[in-house]
């Protein structure tokens, strides 16, 4: 059997009421594209009967594939499982809560056809919701989008929108951990891909409850530090640790020279000078940072050489 042209990856957690409506809309929209497709559903440890509903949907349409986790591992793990199993040339992700509109999929595909590698949805109408969601959803989302765009240099209006399209050769190079699913366009930029954004429809949740809130900002900030490091220093850790080490060591030496001058020139006692302890501390910290950088270099080389991983990616090769 030939591989499908499109793969839809759906992470699902307690969405039993939404699933029949979503699959009907999704199949209708995908059949309208005229391309072959598969729908990869990842049940992320649901406890509301979502898996039983998925089994029924699978029995009705063999293009639906179902994976059930033993417990709730989180949305990033669900996306990773879907990417591992997706066979399509284009992989499309979306939420299973009916807030993403399957009718917008042709917009993403049209943008992909223009030559882009990653296309992200932008829920323009989302910001017109009522005041009730201002604190719990709008402010966290706006803050997260600003932090991610500023920190990674990949500017998108709506990183939180799950409706995205990726070329298969882009997504296969990305390994996901923690909560890094929202950073996929930024991580993919490391490989030199082209990223675009298209306005998509936004619909209010009809069933169930939202799984997001204010706590997302803290997680985004911590994950952003990880992504920023991976994008800038993953193959050269000595440059960041070495720079901090040299700065701390140099500052400690300068303070030490100053204290030595004061002692020799004016006979000032140094035993009770906190500045002396600071100088010693900075020198020790500097040595430790440089050592961490060297150890990081060894780890990076072991990682790439033991697994045969290249430090580059090729878009096209002629001859």
Maximal C-alpha separation, the chain: 91
Cβ–Cβ < 8 Å for 104, 31: no
Interval 98-149: pLDDT, tens: 889 999 999 999 999 999 999 999 888 766 655 555 565 677 777 778 878 8
Distance of CA 292 to the CA centre of its chain: 26
Average pLDDT over the chain, rounded to whole?
Answer: 85
Residue 235: predicted pLDDT: 73
Q: Mind listing the pLDDT tens digit for each residue in 184-223?
A: 888 888 778 899 999 998 877 676 666 555 556 677 777 7
Residue 53 has pLDDT above 90, yes or no: yes
pLDDT value of residue 130: 56
Residue 54 vs residue 158, higher pLDDT: 54
The per-residue pLDDT for range 57-71, each reduced to its tens digit, is: 999 999 999 999 999
Query: What's the CA gap between 206 and 215, in Å, rounded?
Result: 23
């Amino acid at each position: 059997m030939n591989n499908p042209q499109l793969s839809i990856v759906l992470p699902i957690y307690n969405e039993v009421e939404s699933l029949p409506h979503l699959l009907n809309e999704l199949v209708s929209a995908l059949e309208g594209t005229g391309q072959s497709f598969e729908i990869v559903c990842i049940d992320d440890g649901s406890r509301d009967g979502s898996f039983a509903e998925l089994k029924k949907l699978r029995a009705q349409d063999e293009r639906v594939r179902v994976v059930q986790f033993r417990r709730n591992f989180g949305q990033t793990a669900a996306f990773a499982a879907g990417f591992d199993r997706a066979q399509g040339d284009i992989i499309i992700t979306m939420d299973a809560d009916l807030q993403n509109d399957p009718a917008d999929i042709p917009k993403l595909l049209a943008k992909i056809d223009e030559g882009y590698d990653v296309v992200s949805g932008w829920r323009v109408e989302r910001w017109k919701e009522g005041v009730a969601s201002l604190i719990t959803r709008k402010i966290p989302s706006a803050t997260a989008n600003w932090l991610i765009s500023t920190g990674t240099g990949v500017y998108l209006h709506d990183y939180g929108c799950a409706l995205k399209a990726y070329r298969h050769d882009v997504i296969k190079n990305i390994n996901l951990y923690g909560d890094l699913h929202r950073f996929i366009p930024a991580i993919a930029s490391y490989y030199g891909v082209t990223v675009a954004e298209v306005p998509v429809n936004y619909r209010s949740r009809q069933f169930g409850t939202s799984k997001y809130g204010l706590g997302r900002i803290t997680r985004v900030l911590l994950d952003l530090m990880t992504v920023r490091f991976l994008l800038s220093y993953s193959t050269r850790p000595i440059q960041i640790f070495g720079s901090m080490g040299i700065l701390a060591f140099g500052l400690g030496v300068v303070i030490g020279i100053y204290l030595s001058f004061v002692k020799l020139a004016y006979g000032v006692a140094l035993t009770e000078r906190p500045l002396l302890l600071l100088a010693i501390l900075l020198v020790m910290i500097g040595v430790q940072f440089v050592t961490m950088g060297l150890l990081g270099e060894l780890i990076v080389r072991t990682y790439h050489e033991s697994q045969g991983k290249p430090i580059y990616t090729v878009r096209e090769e002629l001859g």
